[in-house]
Structure 1
Amino acid sequence: MDFLFQDEAEQDENALKSRQSDKTWRILVIDDDESVHQITRLVLADALVENRKLELVSAYSSVEAKEILLQDSDFCMAFVDVVMETDHAGLELVEWIRKDLGNQAIRLVLRTGQAGSAPEATVIKQFDINDYKEKTDFTSGKMITSVYAAIRGYRDITTIQRSLDAFKQLIAATHDLLQIQQFKPFGSAALHHLLTLMEVDSSALYIARSHLDENGNNMIIACTGKYVDEADSLENSTIAPNIKERIQQTFDRKGSYSDTECFIKYYESSPDVASVLYIEFEDDAEHFKANLAEPFAMSIALILENLMRQKSQN
């Protein structure tokens, strides 16, 4: 589609980079030696992983680490010292994180200055850790490599989990939507479930057009964020003219468009009913997955067609 997005994209590029830079990868450093914390912060101070900086949080015992994790589990990885309050405090903490806390996503890198008390082969076999490093051999280069590997592993695990959660939401949402018999509640529920599934901060519009509708208006079935409007039709709304034009182009060309700023998609379940989904990202599109949106939006289009036909018969 020949949308003229280039100028707007250039204007918003700096703002997008600024929003992305606000995100960080959070790492928990657990060690009773202050110098280890200082060295770790020094080595990782300027590290940038997938356009995100690192945020390090310190804990000086396994007890303190537990307190932190009980209040805030949003860490992608943790460096865990073996010997702290006891000779095996770190190993016991690993067991607690995996079994009692139930956190399988956080990547755990075990560090020890006394390898004899926790032999690598035994620890790797018996404990659910992701890496094992002796402090004497843990150079700055190896530390950075370990962080990259751990963060990428965490990213992949959380992506899979989001996909599984989204699939469950898809099933539940489709069931809920089938119970709704009015346009506005239908649209609101549809858009709410879709954005929840995507886990993106956005403003969105869901527009429907039916050839069975004698007025021929583009009906606003749902809207969120800055596009919330009391009008029933796109034509009568206060939505910006350039957005109206993009939606009109999508209907006319029966196509789609997406970039880091927005996602626009045309859906046609029959010659009688068509709809357009327009999502404008207020944050970056990191979590947006078009392949997850496709089956959900098509389900909405099919339900919409049935509702349209019911309306025309009444």
Structure 2
Amino acid sequence: MRTRGELVEFLGDDPAANAPDYAPAWLILVVDDDPDVHRSSELALRGTRILERPLDFLHAYTAAEALGLLADHPHVAVILLDVVMETDDAGLGLVRTVRQELGMAEVRIILRTGQPGYAPEIETICNYDINDYKTKNELTRVKLLTAVIAAVRSFDQLCRLEASRRGLKKIVSACNDLISVQGLHAFCEGVLVQLAALVGIQPSGLVCARHDGDDVRLGAEVVAAAGRCVIYQDLLFDDIDDLVVAGSLRRAFDTGARQLGPRHMSLSFRGRQGQAFAVYLESETALRPVDDQLLDVFCSNIAICCENVELLAELREHAFTDRLLRLPNRVTFIERIEAMHHRQALAGKAVALIDIDEFAEANDMFGHAYGDRLLQAIAARLVDALGDRCVVARVAGDVFGVLGDETLVRPQVLMPLFEAPFAPAGTEHRVSASMGLVRLTGYGGTGADLLKDASIAIKRGKAGGQGQAMYFTEAIAQESRQRTRLLADLRHAFQARELYMAFQPQIDLATHRIVGVEALMRWPTADTMISPEIFIPVAEQSGLIVDLGEWALHQALRLLESLRNEGWPLLRVAVNVSLVQFRHPGFLAAVDRALREHEAPAQALELEITESVAMMGSSAIERSLHELKSRQIAVAIDDFGTGYSSLSYLDRLPVDRLKIDKAFIRPLASPQPDTRLVEMVIALSHKLGLQVVAEGVETEAQAALLRQFGCDEAQGYLWGKPMTADELRRVLAADQARNGPNPTEVPP
């Protein structure tokens, strides 16, 4: 087997010797068992340049020799192939091996034969992917040259198409890789790697970034670097001391056009956030030509990738970071817990949820901007105290999460952080916090389970008042499961219409008449009567109270409608309204709907709210109270004395009655009662224009004292326990028989 260079003395200098190293010669493989054919073929093609590139020759005398050469030289452009060599079909067998086994689809095959009788049929030429066929006696120098030139041009076009296909494939792959990176630095590093792969060299270069409109010498910064240029990483543009690098980048920035040199190139593209980028890539050897369209496509796709990376970065920030407080959010907090769980690093750690007490009230009273600044002040204090040693996150609107060592995540450390007032708007604001804590040693639940258990501990602690800290225990878990079962049972009972309304008479102390009733919800079971003090808080926490409250309102007005139609012009029916109901956006519409459905006069309805609702002082609460007042619906403050015990808020709110809690009435039955508080409340209420109703009156002595103090109305066991509608009818009949017919008009 003889290869190229064999005839160098005869041919003279190799024409490819002085060709640029990025324009190698076209390889022509001559396969023939006749040495004269080799010499004549090379002589005929000597000195020929096709597409500005010379020809170089490989020589094989058998099919086996040809396969060996093709294995070492996979970029052969043309094969001049004899049909008959060591066997009659050796040439055809070689074609089959080249196409099917070696997978060389681009190489052009010109079949030659000196024996016309061995010429292959047209079907054979098609099946074997032969590109041309000539008999040797007709293959003059001109015809051979013409055939080779056509074959080389065809080979070049096929190679360019394949290179474009591979290049586009690399660009698609690069885009898929780049869009998944996190952060601008990682993205720019990826651009260097992908561009180097497209050009076919090792990555060596840098990526510079600047904001549009900035002078490149002032604003550009090296974001990523590789190879020799790694020394420029994170430097400003002016600190690049290589004039070739700096000049190429500057021209790319200024013109937006590619800068191509023998051993380097620079490209530019733009990001979405007003940033411009320039990529400098260099090679130790001359860069091979790269299709301009591929580079255009690369730059266009990289620019899109840059936009997507920036967008994904924003989405990640939205997904994993609380933008207001710049803290990890609930998702990230749970992931941190899960990561520690997988590393088996939970021993000795604890989690605390910190719920800011009455934050919603502060938000309503002072506005959302104030609430945001308050949260920022709280977050800053937590981070300052714990940030280096604990994970501090915002896991809900006014709930913070802390993950860290048990020695830090404990009430003795966390509670004192809320002793000093905050000053979100320049004025001091004292804040209390309720905390639920979970020790993680031996904890087997997920991160979501952990937050749920901490939330349960918060609720359990709040049952004893605000500003409490409670560790989650198995006893609390059991209580929570019981509450869950209770809620499920309550939902079922409500849907099955097992609940009913009871009614307790309210008495005018001066006339001894029944002037109204209070509607009270009852839940009977097979075994017992479940107290409202047990199931109402469960309904409030679950939101079921909204449906229960609307049902109770309809039941009360239905009774009122029925009694009025029966000739019992009951003057007033009182219905309790929880804070959850009062805050519900459809509350007023529900009240209006119930009044219309039962054709009840608005002045015959009284809604009882607790002190906590009245004390909120928010504009929304005040607007709702004024809306009720405009409808002539009366409002009463229920259980007065059990909460803030202050009359100051009553001066500005449109309320009609104040109900003194039974805890203040009970002492009036003692032999030497202390009456000062009751007398004071009644007197001050009257000065504010409010009527007073005493709850829990059980004896005539209590009633007599209340009359003496000028109390307007009362209710209690003295006149009747809460009763069914039929029992109420009998009580009303007795009252009418005793005191005569009731008034027929409802007083204003």
1:238 correspondence with 2:241 = yes
- 1:28–1:79 Cα contact (<8 Å) kept: yes
Rounded to whole Å, the distance in 2 between the matches of 1:131 and 1:70 is 23
- Tell me the secondary structure at the aligned position of residue 53 of structure 1: strand
Rounded to whole Å, the distance in 2 between the matches of 1:295 and 1:258 is 16
- The Cα offsets for residues 266-305 of structure 1, whole Å up to 9 and x where unpaired, read as 422346211123456753653x123222343234334445
Number of the residue aligned with 1:255: 256
Rounded to whole Å, the distance in 2 between the matches of 1:70 and 1:245 is 43
Shift of 1:125: 3.6
AA aligned to 1:272 is G
Rounded to whole Å, the distance in 2 between the matches of 1:149 and 1:297 is 34
- Shift of the 73–255 alpha-carbon distance from structure 1 to 2, 3 Å rule, reads closer
Alignment of 1:105-120 (within 5 A): 105-119=106-120
- 2:77–2:152 Cα contact (<8 Å) kept: yes
CA RMSD, Structure 1 to Structure 2 (Å): 3.3
Rounded to whole Å, the distance in 2 between the matches of 1:292 and 1:140 is 38
Rounded to whole Å, the distance in 2 between the matches of 1:212 and 1:180 is 27
- The Cα offsets for residues 214-254 of structure 1, whole Å up to 9 and x where unpaired, read as x96312234466645333232222321x5424533543x45
1:172 correspondence with 2:173 = yes
* Structure 2 spans left out of the alignment, 5+ residues: 1-17, 318-322, 327-748
Number of the residue aligned with 2:68: 67
Rounded to whole Å, the distance in 2 between the matches of 1:266 and 1:113 is 58
Rounded to whole Å, the distance in 2 between the matches of 1:89 and 1:265 is 51
- 1:229–1:237 Cα contact (<8 Å) kept: no
Percent identity of equivalent pairs? 30
Shift of 1:40: 1.1
Query: Which has the higher mean CA deviation after the structures are superposed, 133-142 or 97-106?
Result: 97-106
Task: Give the alignment's TM-score, normalised by structure 1.
Answer: 0.80
- Tell me the secondary structure at the aligned position of residue 142 of structure 1: helix
- Shift of the 38–92 alpha-carbon distance from structure 1 to 2, 3 Å rule, reads same
AA aligned to 1:238 is D
Rounded to whole Å, the distance in 2 between the matches of 1:21 and 1:179 is 34
- The Cα offsets for residues 117-153 of structure 1, whole Å up to 9 and x where unpaired, read as 2245354344311110100011111111111111111
- 2:224–2:233 Cα contact (<8 Å) kept: no
Rounded to whole Å, the distance in 2 between the matches of 1:230 and 1:206 is 10
Task: Give the alignment's TM-score, normalised by structure 2.
Answer: 0.36
Q: Which has the higher contact order (CA 8 A, sep 6+)?
A: 1
Shift of 1:77: 1.2
- The Cα offsets for residues 80-105 of structure 1, whole Å up to 9 and x where unpaired, read as 10010111111111111111222111
Number of the residue aligned with 2:294: 292
Alignment of 1:32-51 (within 5 A): 32-51=33-52
Number of the residue aligned with 2:138: 137
- 1:200–1:285 Cα contact (<8 Å) kept: no
1:283 correspondence with 2:279 = no
- Tell me the secondary structure at the aligned position of residue 256 of structure 1: coil
- Shift of the 201–230 alpha-carbon distance from structure 1 to 2, 3 Å rule, reads closer
Rounded to whole Å, the distance in 2 between the matches of 1:88 and 1:135 is 17
1:28 correspondence with 2:36 = no
- How many residues are paired up? 294
- 1:76–1:154 Cα contact (<8 Å) kept: yes
Rounded to whole Å, the distance in 1 between the matches of 2:260 and 2:187 is 28
Counterpart among 217, 220, 227 of residue 222 in structure 2: 220
1:86 correspondence with 2:87 = yes
- Shift of the 299–284 alpha-carbon distance from structure 1 to 2, 3 Å rule, reads closer
- 1:202–1:279 Cα contact (<8 Å) kept: yes
AA aligned to 2:278 is V
- 2:193–2:203 Cα contact (<8 Å) kept: no
- 1:217–1:235 Cα contact (<8 Å) kept: no
- 1:83–1:89 Cα contact (<8 Å) kept: yes
- Shift of the 71–289 alpha-carbon distance from structure 1 to 2, 3 Å rule, reads closer
Rounded to whole Å, the distance in 1 between the matches of 2:155 and 2:224 is 35
- 2:181–2:309 Cα contact (<8 Å) kept: no
- 1:79–1:110 Cα contact (<8 Å) kept: yes
AA aligned to 1:239 is D
* Structure 1 spans left out of the alignment, 5+ residues: 1-16
Rounded to whole Å, the distance in 2 between the matches of 1:72 and 1:292 is 26
- Shift of the 21–305 alpha-carbon distance from structure 1 to 2, 3 Å rule, reads closer
Rounded to whole Å, the distance in 1 between the matches of 2:56 and 2:93 is 25
- Tell me the secondary structure at the aligned position of residue 232 of structure 2: coil
Rounded to whole Å, the distance in 1 between the matches of 2:301 and 2:123 is 51
- Tell me the secondary structure at the aligned position of residue 58 of structure 1: strand
Rounded to whole Å, the distance in 2 between the matches of 1:135 and 1:62 is 18
Rounded to whole Å, the distance in 2 between the matches of 1:178 and 1:117 is 58
Number of the residue aligned with 1:273: 275
Rounded to whole Å, the distance in 1 between the matches of 2:185 and 2:295 is 20
Moved over 6 A (4+): 200-203, 311-314
